Amino acid sequence: MPALRTCLRTVAALLLAAPLTGPLPAFAANTDPRKAAEMPPADASFLPLEEIDVPIVDGGRVDGVLHLTVVVQAKTGDDAAALGKRMPELRAAVLPAAIEFARLRASRFAPVDVARLSAMIAPPLKRVDASIDKVLIVKVSAMQR
């Protein structure tokens, strides 16, 4: 052990005595000024609805909560602006279909069948306004309350 200590002291002394001059390693931080990456402008035809939470009922008791976020794509940006004024109607169209899905098909122990949920939500939403092109479910989860 004394030889190991002597060796470590020698290495430490050499490291401290070595001047820190010379080029920096190749992995040094790049400090060159750069332009910020330009993001494309947001598409005005997309209209996000507020998150919707519906109970998952199983056997007459509340077993969990289905959380979903829906985005409606209108045919044009002007149509989306007009749909924004009808937000309560859009949410009212989604809610019964989401409740029905949660009652029949959702469980907090299984993955959510998003394709079926989308198929249940899209027709009532498209009946609200003919300018709705697509109904997108961007976030969904089934959790314990």
Res 129: pLDDT = 94
Collapsing DSSP to helix, strand or coil, 33 comes out as coil
pLDDT at 59: 84
pLDDT at 43: 86
Three-state DSSP class for residue 95:
helix
* Residue 122 near residue 101, CB atoms below 8 Å: no
Structure tokens at 34: 């750069």
The reported pTM is 0.68
Tokens of residue 80, six digits: 């989306």
In the chain, how many H helices and how many E strands? 4, 4
d(CA 24, CA 8): 25
Whole-number pLDDT of residue 60: 85
- The per-residue pLDDT for 17 is 59
In order along the chain (145 residues), what is the average pLDDT of each group of 10 residues? 67 59 55 60 88 92 94 94 95 96 92 95 96 95 88
